[in-house]
């Protein structure tokens, strides 16, 4: 039996290593040593820069637009690191927290030309690790031997990117009866992805008929709204209203997806909140951090429903993108059921932005 980890398991290790501040080796058209800025320390930055005079900081085009840096590669920019670059300087490029206090970051010199497939994968890996999408990269001549010498994870950009683009298969772990306030006939199902990512949950109310359209809510985890009663969003009221409606109708399934902050993680969501306090709306905040408007993968919800035996849904949502994604992935959405609750003076602008910029329906 071969005990060596496969590519999928190495990807999970790589995400964990990057969160700990350990670099990974990525092979591809341009083999790289890559480390995320958020967890990089001074010693490792100095060691990486000593390896090559061509060290660069890869950021997304969203972040580059804020910094007025040239995104020659379309979706990303490769900022050349000055030889005297410090960790504070690198952090200032990656993290927008100090942009208003220290707006002058440049001029920034950006690389152009060549194949950036490896750099693109490094950015996507940082996102998958729920870290700021900013990666220090150093070119390597002998990637495999370098990884072996330093006990670093070695990944193929080609196969690794294919895994990130695909939706990881989900497997049912356990289900158990869960009496709730809205219905004593409740059941909680736990699903675990093969890629080592976060588990997702399905809360089943009653005994829904698998042949009929299912009252469904695709709900993204919101620690601040669901648990803390935050007034900055409408997530908590939507969660409770959806469960209450399922309880009233006697059946339904609420899919609770661990994709906090539209898929950027709680820490980055709090960074976005901080930027909102500076006057930026929710979409602008995500862009300044280097993320897209929405980084969630709604395919996972469709996969869970199909594994539970459902093929038709009445979807509780104001987001047409959820309807489209469910339909594209094998769930026939027979009805969009509006869910308008939870508006207050603290989140009025947030809800208006979702309508104006994210296509949500009133």
Active-site residues, by number, are: 294, 296
* Interior angle at CA 313, CA 308 and CA 314, nearest 5: 140
Is residue 81 within 8 Å of residue 119, measured between CB atoms? Answer: no
Q: What is the secondary structure of 157-215 as a DSSP string?
A: HHHHHHHHHSPPPEEEEEEEE---SS-SSEEEEEEEETTS---EEEEEES---TTS-EE
Q: Which residues pair with 314 in a beta bridge?
A: 215, 335
Secondary structure element (H or E) that encloses residue 137, with its range: strand 134-139
Distance of alpha carbon 71 from alpha carbon 89, whole angstroms: 19
How far apart are alpha carbons 362 and 353 in whole angstroms? 11
- Helix, strand or coil for residue 48? helix
Residue with tokens 């395919």: 299
Structure tokens at 105: 């970051």
Q: Please, are residues 289 and 268 in contact by the beta-carbon 8 Å criterion?
A: yes
Rg, C-alpha atoms of the chain = 22
């Amino acid at each position: 039996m071969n005990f060596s980890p496969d590519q999928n398991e190495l990807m999970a290790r790589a995400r964990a290593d990057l969160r700990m501040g350990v670099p990974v080796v990525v092979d591809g058209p341009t083999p790289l040593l890559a480390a995320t800025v958020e967890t990089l320390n001074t010693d490792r930055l100095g060691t990486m820069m000593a390896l090559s005079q061509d060290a660069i900081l890869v950021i997304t085009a969203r972040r580059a637009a804020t910094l007025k840096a040239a995104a020659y590669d379309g979706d990303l920019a490769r900022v050349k690191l000055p030889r005297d670059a410090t960790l504070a300087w690198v952090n200032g490029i990656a993290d927008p927290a100090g942009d208003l206090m220290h707006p002058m970051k440049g001029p920034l010199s950006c690389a152009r030309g060549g194949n950036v497939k490896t750099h693109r994968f490094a950015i996507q890996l940082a996102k998958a690790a729920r870290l700021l999408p900013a990666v220090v990269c150093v070119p390597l001549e002998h990637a495999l031997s370098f990884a072996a010498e330093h006990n670093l994870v070695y990944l193929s950009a080609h196969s690794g990117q294919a895994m990130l683009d695909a939706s990881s298969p989900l497997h049912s772990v356990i289900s158990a009866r869960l009496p709730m306030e809205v219905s004593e006939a409740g059941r909680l199902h736990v699903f675990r992805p093969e890629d080592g990512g976060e588990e997702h949950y399905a809360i089943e109310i009653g005994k829904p008929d698998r042949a009929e359209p299912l009252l469904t809510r695709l709900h993204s985890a919101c620690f601040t709204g669901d648990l803390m009663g935050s007034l900055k969003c409408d997530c908590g009221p939507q969660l409770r209203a959806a469960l209450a409606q399922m309880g009233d109708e006697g059946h339904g399934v609420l899919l609770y997806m661990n994709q906090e902050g539209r898929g950027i993680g709680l820490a980055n969501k709090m960074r976005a909140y901080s930027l909102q306090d500076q006057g930026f709306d929710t979409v602008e905040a995500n862009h300044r951090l280097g993320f897209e408007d929405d980084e969630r993968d709604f395919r996972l919800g469709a996969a869970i429903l199909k594994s539970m035996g459902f093929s038709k849904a009445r979807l509780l949502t104001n987001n047409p993108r959820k309807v489209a994604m469910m339909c594209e992935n094998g769930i026939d959405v027979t009805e969009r059921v509006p869910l308008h609750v939870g508006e207050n003076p603290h989140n009025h602008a947030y809800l208006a932005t979702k309508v104006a910029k994210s296509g949500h329906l009133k």
